[in-house]
Amino acid sequence: MRGFIVIDLGFGDSGKGLLTDFLVRRTGAGLVVRYNGGAQAGHNVVTPDGIHHTFSQFGSGTFVPGVRTFLSRHVVLHPTALLVERDALASKGIRDSFQRLRISEGARVITPFHQAANRVREIARGPGRHGSCGIGLGETVQDGLDFPEDAIHAGDILTPLAIRPKLQRIRERKREEVAVLAEGCRDEPLLQAEMKFFDNPDVPETWIASISRLAEAGLILSDPALADWAGDSTDVIFEGAQGILLDEDHGFHPHTTWSRCTAKNVEEILPASFPQMIPVKVGVMRSYAVRHGPGPLPTDTDTLAPVIEEHNATGYWQGPVRYGWFDAVLARYGLEALGGVDRLFVTHMDAPARMGKWFVCREYSIRKRELLPEEWLDPGGAMTRLPHLPGTSLDLRRKLTRVLFDAEPVLEPCAADEQAVTRKMELFLERPIDAISRGPRASDVEVFRGFLE
């Protein structure tokens, strides 16, 4: 049994859905394991006959008949959103999605009160928003760490009586935590509407009744049972969410996620379920920089937007999708944070030819040098590589974020054709590109150098 770990090397939106769908179709993999994140995911897949779906919690191999999804204990489950996605897939011809889905009993569960508290906090931040998706993922993780006795896990869905007292305590605690924020934003109608969830007496029982449908469908599974449920699958695709530049340890605070976007979660899953497997790490990035929502994007430009064909769009919580020229500094950092990857997949390689001109960023000119340790900068004051962040103070990570907001990218022109862009990226990344895509479908992917070996 082979394994492929799909890891986003950027801020997300690099093409993990496309890559997962491609790997399933080309390898014959029968199982997709989601190993981090949750319902905030927006993984786009377009089938050979043109059907499109943005996968949120189901694995992005679900369009292929028989392919199963396992939501690991590292996934933060949004049960009511899962029901909505089940219905959306049914409308597109996938009517057996629940039969092909299992959820780890250890997965944390988002409640309506976590989601409401998350949204209240984000609205109250005003112009200083962190870029939350408004799902409640981070709120759920932090609450579970601070009050583990009240954490609701997927296994609790099997015993509703155990959920009620926990849910009541979560409601009271979250209401108290965000009440002061609501007082300071009385003129924000959306914030006040979110606060009403805490006082609505029908919310707890309605929610419990809704999520009980997951128990009735027999979806909850213990981790040791995963290998048996996988059946005779020859390959497993481990589908990541978000991106390494948003990682809780490697990202740029406070614009980060409460999730590990590296391969660490997969390494924790393997011993119990697939002890003999040595999976292949596949890193994915676009041919240019992309970021959905606020946070630093040093090569940010309005020039690219007219030629980008995008499924994800501006939303109330995340804000607009932003684009920048290929950023070798961030791309190298992503690779180094992972300790390298076994395969590198670059999407949207059709964009340069449509532009007619192309640039790549080789380094930054730093305007706020006084904020950073001298050893983080090149002798001339430029920055060609970002420092290793895990283990550094939160204050220093915040300062690096401020520096990246004001960094001036040093751009080099590049011929706007596929071969020239590929060569330039390989030069700056100091490694070959193993596969590319020129569109949103699996048939738009071209692989090189034994990509699937």
pLDDT over threshold 90, residue 10: yes
Q: Could you tell me if 67 and 115 lie in one domain?
A: no
Rounded Cα distance, 124 and 132, in Å: 12
Q: What's the pLDDT at 315?
A: 66
SS3 category, 291: strand
CATH number of the domain bearing residue 177: 1.10.300
Query: Beta 31-34 vs 68-71: how paired, if at all?
Result: parallel
Residue 372 is assigned to a structural domain of this protein: no
Q: In angstroms, how far is the first alpha carbon of the chain from the final one?
A: 12
pTM (predicted TM-score): 0.93
Same domain for 170 and 206? Answer: yes
Question: Quick check: 110 and 77 in contact, CB under 8 A?
Answer: yes
Residue 132 has pLDDT above 80, yes or no: no
Residue 361 in any domain: the answer is no
pLDDT in tens, 254-276: 888 888 999 999 999 999 888 88
Question: How large is the average pLDDT for residues 84-102?
Answer: 97
Residue 336 in any domain: the answer is no
Report pLDDT for 275.
Answer: 87
Judge if 51 and 21 occupy the same domain. yes
453 part of a folded domain = no
- Taking residues 212-226, report their average pLDDT: 90
User: CA 409, CA 377: separation in Å to the nearest integer?
Assistant: 14
6, part of any domain: yes
Model pLDDT, residue 351? 94
> Tokens 């220093």 map to which residue?
396
114 and 161, same domain (yes or no) = yes
- Looking at residue 423, its pLDDT comes to 96
298 close to 383: Cβ distance less than 8 angstroms: no
Residues 154 and 233 in one domain: no
Is residue 364 in some structural domain? no
Q: Name the DSSP class of 300.
A: B
Name the residue range of residue 122's domain. 108-216
Q: Where are the alpha helices (DSSP H) in 28-111?
A: 79-91
Is residue 416 scored above 90 in pLDDT? yes
Same domain assignment for residues 263 and 226:
yes
The residue among 270, 292, 314 that closes a domain is 292
* Share of residues in the chain with pLDDT > 90 (%): 70
Name the domain boundary from 216, 246, 276: 216
Q: Please name the amino acid found at residue 59.
A: G
Q: What gap in Å lies between CA 381 and CA 363, rounded to an integer?
A: 11
Is residue 131 predicted with pLDDT exceeding 70?
no
CA-based R_g, the chain, Å: 22
The answer on 227 and 101 residing in a single domain is yes
Q: What is the pLDDT of residue 316?
A: 67
Distance (Å, whole) CA 388 – CA 375:
12
Q: Would you give the DSSP letter of residue 348?
A: -
**Domain final position from 197, 216, 235:** 216
Residues 275 and 131 in one domain: no
Ranges 105-119, 215-229, 294-308: which has the least confidence: 215-229
242 and 159 belong to one structural domain: no
CATH number at residue 82: 3.40.440.10
**Predicted local confidence at residue 255, as pLDDT:** 86
Q: How many domains does the chain have?
A: 2
100 and 246, same structural domain? Answer: yes
Average model confidence (pLDDT) across the chain: 91
- Condensed to tens digits (0 to 9), the pLDDT of residues 292-340 reads 888 999 999 999 988 887 777 666 667 789 999 999 999 999 999 999 9
Q: Are 51 and 93 within one domain?
A: yes
Distance CA 399, CA 88 (A): 43
**Does residue 166 belong to any structural domain of this protein?**
yes
Residue 318 domain-assigned? no
368 pLDDT tier (thresholds 50, 70, 90): confident
What contacts 76, CB < 8 A, 6 or more positions away? 37, 38, 39, 107, 108, 109, 110, 137, 140, 141, 259
Asked if pLDDT for residue 93 goes beyond 90, the answer is yes
Using 50, 70 and 90 to split pLDDT, how confident is the model at 380?
confident
Regarding whether 115 and 101 lie in a shared domain, the answer is: no
How confident is the model over 63-78, as pLDDT tens digits?
Answer: 999 999 999 999 999 9
Comparing 315 with 411, which gets the higher pLDDT?
411
- Say what the pLDDT of residue 42 is: 87
